[in-house]
């Protein structure tokens, strides 16, 4: 049985989610404010955390950041009524693995939960903990990324996006594939959401270097390839 921490200050919503997930065999612990949730998350072992953003005492963004520092691998889903691209980027940059906008269907939440739990159980032994391409290096254990001797600071989602590109160099990655493999979701690929993240990454990885590594293939997707 998977143990889930649900952080939601709306009693009606929390009860609906609890009832729905318990029907599918999940065990839930409820928290109604950010500080209580933080204490529970750090003192106990959960398989996944679901949190609203607007919470009493500590909002979901700060909660996610603080949990990430102590437990970097635990899957986190954000539930919120805030659904703009900027809101989603803020959530992902805080360390969320997925983002579901209210109102949502229970079966959609179930799909997101199962995808994250499945991903979290996969072994990365066949990948190795050092990924390299050209002069770019990523350490999966220490989470340090370097280009040459220069260390590069990335947000959690930028890190995951670059990790997937490093694991699939010199291959065009479509927006649909990246949405599925990096975000574990099929969001509207007509938005500029992925473009925003790729541009963030490109500024950090390529801006100060003559040899560019991250490229856009018009109408197809993105590719990690060494070009001057």
CATH number of the domain residue 163 falls in:
1.10.10.10
In a shared domain, residues 11 and 110: yes
- Number of domains, the chain: 2
Between 190 and 93, name the one with better pLDDT: 93
In a shared domain, residues 9 and 116: yes
Where does a domain end: 121, 140, 163? 121
Where does a domain end: 121, 140, 157? 121
**The pLDDT of residue 59:** 94
pTM of the model: 0.63
Q: What is the CATH classification number for the domain harbouring 63?
A: 3.40.50.2300
Over 50: is that where the pLDDT of 106 sits?
Answer: yes
In a shared domain, residues 112 and 222: no
In a shared domain, residues 147 and 192: yes
In a shared domain, residues 217 and 155: yes
Over 60: is that where the pLDDT of 189 sits?
Answer: no
In a shared domain, residues 215 and 191: yes
**The pLDDT of residue 128:** 59
In a shared domain, residues 78 and 151: no
- Identify the domain containing residue 116 by its residue range: 3-121
Over 50: is that where the pLDDT of 157 sits?
Answer: yes
Where does a domain end: 103, 121, 139? 121
Secondary structure of the chain in HEC code, one letter for each residue: CCEEEEECCCHHHHHHHHHHHHCCCCEEEEECCHHHHHHHHHHCCCCEEEEECCCCCCCHHHHHHHHHHHCCCCCEEEEECCCCHHHHHHHHHHCCCEEEECCCCHHHHHHHHHHHHHHHHCCCCCCCCEEEECCEEEECCCCEEEECCEEECCCHHHHHHHHHHHHCCCCCECHHHHHHHHCCCCCCCCCCHHHHHHHHHHHHHCCCCCCEEEEEECCCEEEEEEEC
Over 80: is that where the pLDDT of 31 sits?
Answer: yes
Over 70: is that where the pLDDT of 13 sits?
Answer: yes
In a shared domain, residues 75 and 164: no
In a shared domain, residues 101 and 140: no
Between 123 and 175, name the one with better pLDDT: 175
In a shared domain, residues 114 and 136: no
In a shared domain, residues 15 and 79: yes
In a shared domain, residues 39 and 87: yes
């Amino acid at each position: 049985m998977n143990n889930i921490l649900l952080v939601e200050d709306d009693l009606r919503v929390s009860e609906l989610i609890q009832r729905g997930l318990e029907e599918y065999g999940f065990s839930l612990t409820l928290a109604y404010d950010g500080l209580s949730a933080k204490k529970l998350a750090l003192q106990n072992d959960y398989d996944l955390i679901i949190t609203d953003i607007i919470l009493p005492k500590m909002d979901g963004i700060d909660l996610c950041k603080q949990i990430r520092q102590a437990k970097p691998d635990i899957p986190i889903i954000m539930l919120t009524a805030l659904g703009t691209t900027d809101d989603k980027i803020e959530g992902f940059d805080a360390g969320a693995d997925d983002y579901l906008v209210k109102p949502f269907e229970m079966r959609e939440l179930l799909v997101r939960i199962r995808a994250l739990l499945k991903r979290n159980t996969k072994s990365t032994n066949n990948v190795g903990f050092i990924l390299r391409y050209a002069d770019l290096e990523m350490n999966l254990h220490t989470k340090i990324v370097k280009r040459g001797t220069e260390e590069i600071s990335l947000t959690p989602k930028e890190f995951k996006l670059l990790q997937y590109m490093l694991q699939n160099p010199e291959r065009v990655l479509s927006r649909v594939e990246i949405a599925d493999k990096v975000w574990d979701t099929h969001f509207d690929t007509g938005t500029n959401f992925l473009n925003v993240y790729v541009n963030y990454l490109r500024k950090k990885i390529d801006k100060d270097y003559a040899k560019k590594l991250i490229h856009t293939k018009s109408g197809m997707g993105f590719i990690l390839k060494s070009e001057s």
